[in-house]
Amino acid sequence: MFTGIITEVGSIIGDGQRNDVRRIAIACKMKPEDLVIGGSIACNGICLTVVSRDGAEGGETVFEVDAAPETLDVTTASEWDVGRRLNLERPLKVGDELSGHLVTGHVDAVVKVAEREDLGETTRFWFEMPGNVSRFVASKGSVTLDGTSLTVNSVDGNRFDCLLIPHTLQVTNWNERKKGDGVNLEVDLIARYLARLTETASNTANAA
């Protein structure tokens, strides 16, 4: 479980194919002991498993994760190449402050950046989303985009917008996003279950 509060931005320094699994090497400033082999880490909002880690020159730590076929099919991981910078977040610990919202690291869809407006110190992004997830996105509700907990400003059909403050732009990779880019979307956990409960109640009523 995560919170959508990015703790660091890492860089992809290598990747390779092992049958149908892609192994990705990422360099970051985290301490090696903070990256538990077999433990989870969110990379651009995708919950992945640390399969190896080691120290590197310059004080950086290099760790590897595996992206399975399902992950490559439904997220932006298939588009990542060497040099790509990724938003990183370690798992939430019991007792940690929940500054964002509850995030699972399970991506629901890839949305496209439809428009970027640089408004001085802040930046507004408009996103186009598939119809099957639009019912989960509500004005003033929470979404996770590339691992970042953000508030939805408004919704217009299959489009919604978020306003990013200077701090978010400085400590994440969002300043690198542009029109046409794909972004990993995870809808709010509460919204997901509320929709499911509503569907179940409706189906039960219709069957009665």
Token representation of residue 117: 């407006």
Establish whether 40 is a catalytic residue: yes
Catalytic residue (choose from 7, 11, 27, 49): 49
Catalytic residue (choose from 7, 27, 106, 134): 106
Establish whether 106 is a catalytic residue: yes
Sign of CA dihedral 25, 11, 28, 123: negative
Question: Distance between CA atoms of 40 and 63, rounded to whole angstroms?
Answer: 12
Phi-psi region of 66 (alpha: psi -120 to 50; beta: other; left: phi over 0): beta
Catalytic residue (choose from 25, 28, 42, 47): 47
Catalytic residue (choose from 52, 68, 122, 200): 68
Catalytic residue (choose from 52, 139, 151, 154): 151
DSSP label at residue 44: T
Is residue 25 within 8 A of residue 80, CB to CB? The reply is: no
Catalytic residue (choose from 7, 11, 27, 40): 40
Establish whether 136 is a catalytic residue: no
Active site residues: 2, 40, 47, 49, 68, 106, 151
